[in-house]
Amino acid sequence: MEIKINRKKIGDKNPCYTIAEAGANHDGSLEKAFKLIDAAFEARADSIKFQTYKASKLVTKNAPKYWVDDKEDESQFDVFKRLDTLIEDDWKQIFEYSNKKDITCFSTPFDEESVDLLYKFDVVAFKIASADITHIPLIKHIAAKKLPIFISTGMASDEEINEAISTIEDAGNNQIIIMHCITSYPTEPQDANLEMIRTLTKKYPDYVVGYSDHTIETIIPVCSIFYGAKCIEKHFTFDTKLTQSPDHRLSLDTKEFAQLVEQLRLAEISKGSSHRAGFTAESEAVKYARRSICSTKMIPKGSKITKDMLIIKRPGTGIYPKFIDKVVGCIAKKDIEGDTPIMWKDIAES
C-alpha cells in the first residue's frame, strides 16, 4: 500500500514520512505558528501538523486533565480554552505560509466545523486523534472528504480500531495510515509496545502503518523503524522552555527533530535485506581476511605435493581450505615459491 501526500509517498518502498506535531504549541499566536512552520522546514520534516478545535465543543468545563503537570487547579477546559484563539483568517494564513515555505501542513480537527474549515483551505490530509477513535460521527464526516487519514490507535481495543477503519472504508475512503500510539504523556520506554506495529501491519496488510510517539528523546521512534513503521509523528516546538501549551515539555526542538530525521535515515539504510548477499563493502575482506592453501616452502616444478608442504593461511586468494585433501598428491606445474597461496592453475592431478 502507498499513500501520496503532495509530492511525498508513504509506504513500503519510500523513506519514513515525518510529521512535526506542532499541535497547539502556537500558544494561540499566529506569529508563533509561523515560527513553528519555519522551524519544521529547517528541521527537514516532511510535514507539520496542528490541532484545530474550540474548547467549548471539545470538553466540559470541569473535566479533569488526563496528563500530569504542576498545575493542579485547572481543568482540561482551562487548558484548551487559552489555546483555541486562532480565528478563520489565522488558519488561512497558516496554510498560505506553509505553501510558501513548501512544507506540507495539515491538522487534527476535533469537531465537524473544524473539519469543514480545514477542508475550505485545501488541507491535504486529516488526522484523527486517539481520543476520538470512538467518535464515529466525526470519523464519518472526515472520511467523506475523501482525503488521506492518519488515525491514531492509543487506548483503543481491537474492536474499536476495526470499527473506526470500517467506518472510513464504508465512506469509500481507503487512504488510511494507521498510527500505533500510547496515550500517555510522556510515554515510558517500557510502555511503548512497538510490537503492536507488526501486529497492525499483519492485521491490516492493505494499509500503511506508522507510529505516533510520546516518549522523551528520539531512540524509541528510531527503533520503530525496525518494527515496520512507515511514518513517524513526534511532538515539536521551536522552544521547549515555553509553557503556555502543555506539549512544549514533551516536544523536540528544531535541532533535535533534525537529528531524528537523520537517525531515521540511518536506521532505514542499516536495515538491509532479509537475505545474506554479497556486499561490496566486504569484497576486500573476502580476499584478504579469509584463508587459502599456501606453501610452507619452495615446491619445485614436477614435485608431488605432500601435506607437510602445505599450510592454511591468509590471504584467501588461493585454493579454498576445504580442498586440501585434493591438493595433496597433485603435481606442481611450475616452481611454487614458499609462503605463497597455491592456485589451481599451479597444479595438476598425478
Q: What's the pLDDT at 68?
A: 74
How far is Cα 297 from Cα 69, in angstroms, rounded to an integer?
79
Report the distance separating Cα 54 and Cα 80, nearest Å: 8
pTM score, whole prediction: 0.89
Q: Tally Cβ neighbours within 10 Å of residue 171.
A: 17
Q: Which residue is listed with cell 513503521?
A: 229
Helices (H) and strands (E) in the chain, counts: 12, 14
Task: Give pLDDT, residue 279.
Answer: 72
Q: What is the pLDDT of residues 98-156, one digit of tens each?
A: 999 999 999 999 999 999 999 999 999 999 999 999 999 999 999 999 999 999 999 99
> Stretch 38-65: mean pLDDT, rounded?
95
User: In whole angstroms, what is the distance from residue 10 CA to residue 17 CA?
Assistant: 6
The position carrying cell 602445505 is 310
Contacts of 81 (CB under 8 A, 6+ apart): 55, 56
Looking at the DSSP assignment, which residues form a beta bridge with residue 104? 47
When pLDDT is averaged across residues 34-43 and rounded to a whole number, the result is 98
The predicted-structure confidence for 234-262, as pLDDT tens digits, reads as follows: 999 999 999 888 888 889 999 999 999 99
Q: Determine the distance from the C-alpha atom of residue 131 to the mean position of all C-alpha atoms in its chain, rounded to a whole number.
A: 22
The tens digit of pLDDT for each residue in 175-232 reads: 999 999 999 989 999 999 999 999 999 999 999 999 999 999 999 999 999 999 999 9
User: How many CB atoms sit inside 10 A of residue 328's CB?
Assistant: 15
- The pLDDT value given to residue 93: 98
Cβ-Cβ contacts under 8 Å for 23 (sequence gap 6 or more):
49, 50, 51, 108, 235, 245, 247
DSSP assignment, residue 56?
Answer: H
Say whether the peptide bond before residue 321 is cis (omega within 30 degrees of 0). no
Taking residues 313-323, report their average pLDDT.
97
How far apart, in whole angstroms, are the C-alpha atoms of residue 130 and residue 156? 7
Q: How far apart, in Å, are the Cα atoms of 290 and each of 154, 296, 328, 342, 344? A: 51, 18, 21, 14, 17
**Rounded to whole angstroms, how far apart are CA atoms 103 and 6?**
9
> How many alpha carbons lie under 13 Å from residue 14 in its C-beta half-sphere?
20
All three cell numbers of 197:
506495529
User: Is the torsion defined by CA of 271, 277, 283, 285 positive or negative?
Assistant: positive
pLDDT of residue 90: 97
Average of per-residue pLDDT values in the chain = 95
Residue 4 three-state SS: strand
CA distance 209 to 98: 26
Nearest-angstrom CA–CA distance, 170 and 144? 9
Structural domains in the chain plus CATH codes: 9-271 (3.20.20.70), 282-348 (3.90.1210.10)
pLDDT bin (cut points 50, 70, 90) of residue 71 is confident
Report the 10 Å Cβ neighbour count for 121: 17
Q: Tell me whether residue 279 is exposed, middle or buried, using C-beta atoms within 10 angstroms of its C-beta: 0 to 12, 13 to 18, 19 or more.
A: exposed
Q: Give the pLDDT confidence score for residue 274 in this predicted structure.
A: 83
